[in-house]
Amino acid sequence: MIYTKSPDEIIGMRNACRFAAEVRIAVGQSIRPGITTKELEDVAAKKIKSLGAKSAFLGYRGYPGILCVSVNEVVIHGIPSRQKLKEGDIVGIDVGVKYNGFFGDTAETFPVGKISQEAKKLLSVSEDALCNAIKSCIAGCRVGDISSAIQTTAEENGFSVVRDFVGHGIGRELHEDPQIPNYGSAGIGLRIPENSCLAIEVMLNQGDWHVKILEDDWTVETLDKKLSAHFEHTVLVKKDGCEILTK
């Protein structure tokens, strides 16, 4: 069941999502070689508190962190730790906040200092894939239109799409219907109604699409240990296109 949002709910979503974006930006500005992923979480915790919001992740299905911080071959759900970032790494920051009953969810993968040409290409293609997915999403389109935009952009550039995790509807819950895979065919799947909110998530791998979950039950890594990038925006779907709520 895809919940469409009332005008009041849209205002609630705009607020929660703006806060999520502010946290993502604050954490992004703190990234430098030598900082630990736990210290990045502390930046997020402080910012979330100052906004009067709550982490959407802490305690979600037992998740132990406020933030997901995913370095290099970690695709998503990296748990903040004493791991230090080093020059040349890429680091995915995924932020979820709850404010006044509504959720905002956004992710960006940042370079740490100077990174390789291949890593740069992975980041820019992943960002393009998210941009193309958002452009393909207008009221009345189908889930497959969004999925296909992501997959096509990735594969045309020699990258693969993660298949075991998906984007999702969002609103009064962090995860609502529909699921939005990173692969699929245009013209197929559920229709996206006007005034629905989606968290569109792009997860691209440099190598093969296969991933595994580590012993901690959360960390998702590429099986071949090659790099992976994650970009996510929460959007409001309208007649003439999407409003990006987590810009």
Residues that bind ligand MF3 (CB under 6 A): 57, 60-61, 63, 68, 77, 94, 96, 105, 199, 201, 232
For the bound state, the minimum distance from the C-beta of residue 147 to ligand MF3, rounded and expressed in Å, comes to 16
Residue type at 166 in one-letter notation: V
Q: How far is the CB of 79 from ligand MF3 (least distance, A)?
A: 8
**With CB cut-offs between 5 and 8 Å by kind, which of ligand MF3, Co ion, none does residue 82 bind?**
none
Q: Which does 67 bind (CB under 5 to 8 A by kind): ligand MF3, Co ion, none?
A: none
Main-chain phi, psi angles of 80, to 5 degrees: -55, 140
Measured from the CB of residue 63, what is the shortest distance to ligand MF3 in angstroms?
A: 3
Residue 145 near which of Co ion, ligand MF3, none (CB within 5-8 Å, type-dependent):
none
Q: Which does 57 bind (CB under 5 to 8 A by kind): ligand MF3, Co ion, none?
A: ligand MF3
Of the pair 3, 115, the CB lying nearest ligand MF3 is at 3
**In the complex, least distance from residue 94 CB atom to ligand MF3, rounded to whole angstroms:** 4
User: What CA–CA distance (Å, rounded) separates 105 from 55?
Assistant: 10
SS3 76: strand
* Residue 121 or 190 with smaller CB distance to Co ion: 190
Minimum distance, C-beta of residue 34 to ligand MF3, in the bound complex (Å): 25
C-alpha dist (Å) from residue 2 to 143, 167, 182, 191, 195: 12, 14, 19, 9, 10
Structure tokens at 145: 């239109």
Residues of this chain, 81-120, that bind Co ion according to CB under 5 A: 94, 105, 107
CA 48 from chain centre, in angstroms, equals 17
Cα-to-chain-centroid distance, residue 61 = 18
Do 220 and 163 contact (CB within 8 A), yes or no?
Answer: no
Q: Which residue has the tokens 């699409």?
A: 209
Residue from 74, 123, 137, 199 touching Co ion (CB under 5 A): that is: 199
Torsion angles phi and psi, residue 81, rounded to 5: -155, -170
Which positions touch Co ion (CB under 5 A)?
94, 105, 107, 199, 232
